[in-house]
Amino acid sequence: MKRNAKVSTAVIRRLPRYYRHLSELQEAGVVRISSSALGKSMGLTASQIRQDLFCFGGFGQQGYGYKVDSLKEEIGEILGISRGHTLVVLGTGNLGRAIIQNFRFSSNGFQLLAAFDINPGVVGTRIAGVPVYHADELESFIAAHRVDVGLLTVPIAAAQRMGDQLVQAGVKGIWNFTNYEISCARKDVVVESVHFSDSLLALSYMISQRELPDQQEENQ
Amino acid sequence: MKRNAKVSTAVIRRLPRYYRHLSELQEAGVVRISSSALGKSMGLTASQIRQDLFCFGGFGQQGYGYKVDSLKEEIGEILGISRGHTLVVLGTGNLGRAIIQNFRFSSNGFQLLAAFDINPGVVGTRIAGVPVYHADELESFIAAHRVDVGLLTVPIAAAQRMGDQLVQAGVKGIWNFTNYEISCARKDVVVESVHFSDSLLALSYMISQRELPDQQEENQ
């Protein structure tokens, strides 16, 4: 597959959305879709869609649109879904437990290997079939298994320390739910953070704008 | 406060990050910060920082940098933090419960009024002090209270239906955690979605790129 070397962060951020939309279209039995129809369902223009996908070698056929299944497969390939990435969860509080029980790791190409905690009430148990080990065993576990990503849902006070432990143990990425901006000295380790508050504040901004009657025109 | 009318989505998305960073700086006792130091801690260039803040009237003083507390306060004002927004939660499964118990709504200027569910085991109870009502009472509750935002953590199958109910009842925004792309015909209602899978797939992409030895140079 030919890909343009320079892909912007904005395009990368949209790729998972394409994948999600194409999965929904596939489930709904759609075989082929035009860039304008795909754009409409995603809130993008047809031209943005064509530009985005062109970054990755362009999959569309002039006048025919895109084949849903092969486009989904190719984007999944780019996203690394078939690479068999593995993951462990650090912290089995409410949020950790919610993610372990409900998140579809396998649909996203990830295998959840284990969870770690320090709470004696949960260490040694299983959550939705996933074994929970003591955090002290993290390093030896990662040494013995290939672990690509560590998901952090520990309390803020432990976030940086556990992040450092993950990096030292050799993970390639940290999926950070701690609402703390983890710093990572290693350039080859990716930190991807999910900040709920950033999302709520963006929503707060948008509804606040709509409440300003004199600015409605210019801010829409 | 003077603001430029046209503010890009990218800038809006960065505002909550500024707010979060400035809060951390304030807690750490930092009084004044230069745009380059602020940029460094946020992974942005000094020029990006100046451009972003200029969109909202520009708060810096040449050569003096930014006063942390007043910049934080002004950005908070733009984000609508002082507007006293209110919110209800629909769905008290693992994720809903985790958010009710752990998310700091008040730090983000939101007041959590109530939660709704259909599970008889939880209706009539309180979660972290928040009363849980039956979903049938949603409409009358919203009619009786000013509710700005509905947080959706219901199962995917109920996502669109409950989203429609929220819109009909008169909320201004939906904070959507269902991993389903809710469609909303009303242009004045904002849907802000948190898609965990989009975040994990972006991480998957980034670590996959770093695994390709021949592309490492050009993709970094």
- Quick one: B82 exposed, middle or buried, by C-beta within 10 A (0-12, 13-18, 19+)? exposed
Q: pLDDT digit string (tens) for B141-198?
A: 999 999 999 999 999 899 999 999 999 999 999 999 998 889 888 888 999 999 999 9
Residue B119 has pLDDT above 50, yes or no: yes
- What CA–CA distance (Å, rounded) separates A3 from A12? 13
Q: Quick one: which of A142, A77, A82 has its CA closest to A106?
A: A82
| pLDDT score of A40 | 85
Q: Tens digits of per-residue pLDDT, A125-176?
A: 999 999 999 999 999 999 999 999 999 999 989 999 999 999 999 999 999 9
Nearest to A101 among B6, B94, B103 (CB): B94
Cα A138 to Cα A162: distance, rounded to the nearest angstrom? 10
Cβ-Cβ contacts under 8 Å, A208 against chain B: 78-80, 83
Average pLDDT over residues B109-113: 97
The answer to whether A200 contacts B175, with C-beta atoms less than 8 Å apart, is yes
Between B14 and A64, where is the model more confident? B14
**Structure confidence by residue, pLDDT tens digits, A30-77:** 999 988 888 888 888 888 888 888 777 666 666 778 889 999 999 999
**For residue A3, what pLDDT band results from cuts at 50, 70 and 90?**
low
Q: What is the pTM of this model?
A: 0.87
Q: What is the pLDDT of residue B143?
A: 95
Whether the predicted interface score ipTM is above 0.95? no
Chain A residues inside the 8 Å CB shell of B75: none
Query: What are the structure tokens assigned to A128, written together?
Result: 């939705």
- Residue B13's pLDDT is what? 87
> Do A109 and B204 contact (CB within 8 A), yes or no?
yes
